[in-house]
Amino acid sequence: MRLNFTYEGQFYSAFTVEDALAVGIPILVLAGAAAEQVQKGIDAAVAQARARNATRIDGQDSMYLLKANEAERYIAAGSPADASDYVLLKTEAEALQITPQAQANRVIEARDSWLTVAARIEAARIGGKASLAELATVEAVVTAGELVIAELDAI
């Protein structure tokens, strides 16, 4: 692993652990640099897990939030027969040839299912990154990061 880091005001680029130790860089500085690099790998694994479980389409996550909000408002309003105030819900129901109520239920079920998966992804991301801060060697950081990434890859 090649690391980029700053030590005593000087920036070091693409140093191996061995080379950095040979010039007197403390192992904790290197562990911190490794943690920064591993966190980027965790973020990439999070993005992949989200794409596998929600969407790969840019901006579609925002559309899902809008649809869920609209479905909640429709249900809270008593599921009115005239769904014209709920544009997304109404047009999707028409496209699917189902009632607005049925589409609202589908949207809420999908949202609830996603929330369960999203919670698992966030727990792995947040817990995994936090665990790196406690580690004192590059090897420990890399090993911990690999475990977090494997966990995310399994979601």
| DSSP secondary structure code for residue 97 in this structure | T
- CA of residue 39 relative to chain centroid, distance: 12
| Structural domain for 120, as ranges | 2-153
Cα 101 from Cα 110, distance rounded (Å): 14
pLDDT per position as a tens digit, 39-63: 999 999 999 999 999 888 888 888 9
Say how many domains are in the chain.
Answer: 1
Is this structure's pTM higher than 0.85?
A: no
Q: Which helix (H) or strand (E) holds 77?
A: none
| Element (DSSP H or E) covering residue 56 | none
Q: What is the pLDDT of residues 74-132, one digit of tens each?
A: 999 999 999 999 999 999 999 999 999 999 999 999 999 999 999 999 999 999 999 99
Per-residue confidence band for 17, with pLDDT thresholds at 50, 70 and 90 = very high
Amino acid 54: pLDDT = 86
Place of tokens 């690391």: 3
